[in-house]
Each structure stands twice: as structure tokens, then as C-alpha cells.
Amino acid sequence: PLFKKPACDWMLVGLGNPGAQYARTRHNMGFLALDLLEKQLGADKEKQRHQALCASAVWHGQKLLLVRPQTFMNASGLASRLKHYKLPPERIVVLFDDISLPVGKIRVRPSGSAGGHNGIKSIISALGTDQFPRVKIGVGAKPSPDYDLADWVLGTVPKADQPALQTALGHAADAALCLIEDGVQAAESRFNGLKVCTEGAGGLRRPYLFCLGRKDMEEKTAGGKKKTAKEELRRNKLHIPHPVRR
């Protein structure tokens, strides 16, 4: 054909640094969010493409390519070879860490500058535009202005903050799928104002189980009556532990 059809409908790019020594650092939030998405979507095994690890999945009829750049953060755009896939920028969702947000918070944005994040700066350079959606995952600000930024983002989140972080990673995964199904504005509305809740049995609660999908969000009670997962969540009865494994 004269114009080759893109190999996927959407691309989800999680930013981070390769290597076991960086696996749990603040700068690897994008990788950790992709871990959840790959598990939730039943993605195929990751394969090396260009300078990135890529896995494929299908979400409500949409073909997704989950991309994990294997260069270091500053060359994320080069590793992703974004233009190779011939997708419009608005169908490339980037997940990454943000020091301007507290641990436990996420923020969905339709576009914007790099904000000092070198990985995003590289993506913007590769695409030639900053008009692509992103999901920011809070890792907290430096403890003092004199604290070295590289040391901060390459450090790990304290144990006390892990429950809030794990919840936020689940929200980020959900927000990316919400964005794909219902658009950026819907994802902003549903996820940008979420408060972290780590109380109760199981320790972690997901206020919006978007990864289950609307058509799949029904459960049968013991008496046979159908009850939606949303209803359970509104009553704060459904607790969803969300471990992150590498």
C-alpha cells in the first residue's frame, strides 16, 4: 500500500533507567507503571526493538505497544524511535516521575513542556512537538534546595511512603487506560484529584478499577444478585492490594 498502516493504535512509553541498581528508584516510575499494565493487560513477552523493550497487548479492541527505553533517561526519545511507528503524537502516552508532586499523587496532562525532566525533553526532541499526553507520578520534592537532584531521583522512596506509592502506580496504570478509552479530559477529571487512601484491610484501595473495563465491572454476590465493582468501591468495601514486582 502507498501509506503503511501503523503497527499499533496507541503507544504507552514508560520512562526509567535500565539495570537492577535503578529498578526501584524514583526515576523509574514509568517502568514500574508499565509492570502493572503488562500484568493487567496480559501483554506478550517483551522483545528488544531498536533500543527498547516492547510488549504488545489489546485493550477494548485497541492494539497497544508498551515501550520501555533501554538507553539511559536522557536518550529516551532516541531509544523509543517514536517516529518509526507513524503514530500521531496524541496517541503516544508517556508515564514518568515528577518531583513537583507528592508521593501518592498523579497528574494527567494533554501536553506541556519538559519541566526540567530530561527524559521528556528527549521525547519532545524526537517527536518535534510537546503535544502528547502524559501521566506524571509523584515522587516528592528534594528535602532541601541544596540536595543534589541526581542523587534524589536515583534514590529510593522510603518504606513509609511505599503504600502511597503503590497506590499511585495503580492509579497511573488506570489513568493511561482511561485516557485511551475516554480521552484526556475524562482521565484528568477522574484521576488528578484523587486522594491517597491506605487504611483498612489489605492496606491499599483503588478508587477506580478502570483496568477491569466497563463491560467487565460486574460481580455476582453470594445470593446471585449482580453488583458492580464501582458500587462496592463507593461503599469502601473493596480492597485491592497492588504489589509491584519486577
pLDDT (tens digit per residue) in 110-142:
998 988 898 898 989 888 899 999 999 999 999
Q: Report the chain's mean pLDDT, rounded to a whole number.
A: 78
Determine the pLDDT at residue 210: 40
Alpha-helical (H) ranges within 90-225 are: 118-127, 149-153, 162-182, 184-191
Pair 101, 107: CB distance under 8 Å: yes
Determine the pLDDT at residue 151: 94
The more confidently predicted of residues 69 and 204 is 69
Determine the pLDDT at residue 92: 93
* Beta-strand pair 92-98/134-138: parallel
* Residues 158-201: tens digit of each pLDDT: 999 999 999 999 999 999 999 999 999 999 999 998 766 544 32
Determine the pLDDT at residue 72: 80
Full-model pTM: 0.78
Is 84 labeled as catalytic in the residue annotation? no
Q: Please pick, among 27, 117, 171, 242, the residue that the annotation labels catalytic.
A: 27
Pair 16, 22: CB distance under 8 Å: yes
